[in-house]
Amino acid sequence: MTEFDIVVRSTRVVAPDGVRPASVAVRDGRIEAVGAYNAPLSATEETDLGDVALLPGAVDLDTGVHAPGQDLAEAYRRVGRAALRGGVTSVVASPAPARPAITCADALHVHQRAAAGLPVSVYFLGGVTRGTGPLDLADLQAAGAVAFRGSLSDGGAPDMAALSDARLRKSMAEIAALDSVLLVHAEDADELGTPAVSAERRPPRAERRGLERVIAAARVVGTRTHVCPFSAAECAALLAAAESIGVALSAQSCAHYLCLPAEALAPDSPAQACRPPVRSDANRKALWSALLSEDSAISTVGSGHLPANGIHTLDWNLPALWTAATRRGLGLADLVRWASRAPADLVGLTGKGRIAVGCDADLVAFDHLRRRIVPGDDPSPYAGRELTGGVGPVWVMGRRSPEDPDNSA
pLDDT (0 to 100) of residue 134: 80
DSSP code, position 275: S
Q: 310-331, pLDDT tens digit by residue?
A: 999 999 989 999 999 999 999 9
pLDDT (0 to 100) of residue 156: 58
Mean pLDDT, the chain, whole residue set:
92
Which residues, 6 or more positions from 170, have their beta carbon under 8 angstroms from its beta carbon? none
pLDDT (0 to 100) of residue 199: 63
CA–chain centroid gap for 103, Å, is 20
Identify the helix (H) or strand (E) that includes residue 4.
Answer: strand 3-15
For residues 217-237, average pLDDT: 93
Task: Please state whether beta strands 121-127 and 145-151 pair in parallel, antiparallel, or not at all (unpaired).
Answer: parallel
pLDDT (0 to 100) of residue 19: 97
203 pLDDT above the threshold of 80: yes
For residues 255-276, average pLDDT: 90
369 pLDDT above the threshold of 70: yes
For residues 140-164, average pLDDT: 87
For residue 206, what are the CA distances in angstroms to 29, 64, 112, 321? 44, 22, 34, 26
DSSP code, position 338: I
What is d(CA 364, CA 395) in angstroms, rounded to the nearest whole number? 6
Q: Which regions of 205-275 does DSSP assign to beta strands (E)?
A: 224-227, 249-254
For residues 77-89, average pLDDT: 96
Which residues, 6 or more positions from 190, have their beta carbon under 8 angstroms from its beta carbon? 209
At residue 244 the predicted structure's pLDDT band, cuts being 50, 70 and 90, is confident
pLDDT (0 to 100) of residue 267: 87
Task: Please state whether beta strands 298-302 and 249-254 pair in parallel, antiparallel, or not at all (unpaired).
Answer: parallel
Least confident of 17-21, 126-130, 201-205: 201-205
Strand-pairing partners, residue 182, are: 148, 225
At residue 409 the predicted structure's pLDDT band, cuts being 50, 70 and 90, is very low
Which three-class secondary structure state does DSSP give residue 305?
coil
For residues 258-269, average pLDDT: 90
What is d(CA 80, CA 50) in angstroms, rounded to the nearest whole number? 27
408 pLDDT above the threshold of 60: no
282 pLDDT above the threshold of 90: yes
129 pLDDT above the threshold of 50: yes
pLDDT (0 to 100) of residue 355: 98
pLDDT (0 to 100) of residue 50: 97
- 345 touches 338 (CB < 8 A): no
% pLDDT > 70, the chain: 95
For residues 135-164, average pLDDT: 88
User: How far is the first Cα of the chain from the last one, in angstroms, to the nearest whole number?
Assistant: 37
193 pLDDT above the threshold of 80: no
Kindly report the number of other CB atoms within 10 A of residue 29's CB atom: 15
pLDDT (0 to 100) of residue 320: 95
Which residues, 6 or more positions from 301, have their beta carbon under 8 angstroms from its beta carbon? 252, 253, 254, 255, 258, 291, 321, 338, 339
